């Protein structure tokens, strides 16, 4: 029995959904919010979402969780390449996305939402980091037709569910969609959008995001 704990507004949650759908694995969704409660920390030590539960075993941290899933359900579509060098490329792309794009922009968003102030040197740091990450990605992505080569992989799950949101965040918090500099991404996204399962994830995340923003605006009145 596979159960996914979290909420579909989360790009990490949707990344796991995308992998489960590619693999054709049935799963239950369990609504959970990030939490510092002892019970939740016992299954997800950072208190973040998502958490994946497989037969009563709880797994935290999205990419390592997905590699585990790929190994234990080895009879389903593989999302890590057989070739070690190609596996390295998948992990490299995922790290650029998670560590050098998602995390800095997320920190900037959280800081500005909490303190309602702009700190220019902080913004500049995040801008430089994002520009560097996009430049790095431009040197390693393939889009042939998948991001890491000719087979779909965990790097596609990361890119498809993360980059469109962080393009929006960059525009909103840095005043510039820095991710537009990722050459070939729009065509690649259109290509993946042709899969109705993927598009449904994207559309639902967009809907959740708009609902949350509206709720925040109403609460702020």
Ligand X SMILES: N[C@@H](CCC(=O)N[C@@H](CS)C(=O)NCC(=O)O)C(=O)O
* CB of 49 vs ligand X, minimal distance in Å: 4
Question: By C-beta, is 183 or 210 nearer to ligand X?
Answer: 210
CB neighbour class for 164 (10 Å; exposed up to 12, middle 13-18, buried from 19): middle
Q: Does 130 bind ligand X (CB under 6 A)?
A: no
43 and 9 Cβ atoms separated by less than 8 Å: no
Shortest gap between Cβ of 158 and ligand X (angstroms)? 10
**26 to 45, contacts with ligand X by CB under 6 A?**
34
Q: Are 51 and 58 in contact (CB under 8 A)?
A: yes
Q: Does the footprint of ligand X cover residue 61 (CB under 6 A)?
A: yes
Residue 173 · residue 123 · CB < 8 Å: yes
Pick one of 4, 10, 93, 141: the residue that binds ligand X (CB under 6 A).
10
Nearest CB to ligand X, comparing residues 49 and 182:
49
Beta strand 2-6 with 51-54 is antiparallel
Q: Of these, 49, 69, 167, 192, which contacts ligand X (CB under 6 A)? A: 49
Number of residues that bind ligand X (CB under 6 A): 8
162 belongs to the binding site for ligand X (CB under 6 A)? no
Residues that bind ligand X (CB under 6 A): 10-12, 34, 48-49, 61-62
């Amino acid at each position: 029995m596979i159960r996914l704990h979290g909420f579909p507004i989360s790009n990490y949650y949707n990344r796991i959904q995308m992998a489960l759908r590619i693999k054709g694995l049935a799963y239950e969704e369990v609504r959970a919010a990030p939490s510092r409660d002892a019970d939740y920390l016992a299954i997800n030590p950072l208190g973040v979402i998502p958490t994946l539960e497989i037969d009563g075993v709880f797994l935290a941290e999205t990419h390592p969780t997905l590699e585990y899933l790929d190994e234990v359900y080895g009879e389903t579509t593989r999302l890590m390449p057989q070739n070690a060098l190609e596996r390295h490329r998948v992990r490299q792309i995922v790290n650029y996305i998670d560590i050098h794009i998602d995390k800095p922009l997320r920190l900037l968003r959280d800081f500005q939402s909490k303190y309602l102030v702009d700190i220019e040197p902080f913004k500049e740091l995040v801008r430089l980091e994002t520009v560097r990450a996009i430049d790095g990605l431009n040197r390693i992505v393939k889009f042939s037709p998948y991001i890491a080569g000719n087979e779909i992989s965990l790097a596609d799950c990361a890119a498809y569910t993360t980059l469109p949101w962080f393009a929006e965040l960059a525009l909103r918090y840095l005043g510039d969609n820095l991710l537009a500099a990722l050459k070939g991404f729009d065509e690649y996204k259109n290509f993946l959008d042709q899969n109705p399962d993927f598009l449904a994830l994207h559309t639902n995340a967009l809907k959740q995001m708009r609902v949350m923003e509206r709720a925040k605006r109403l609460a702020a009145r």
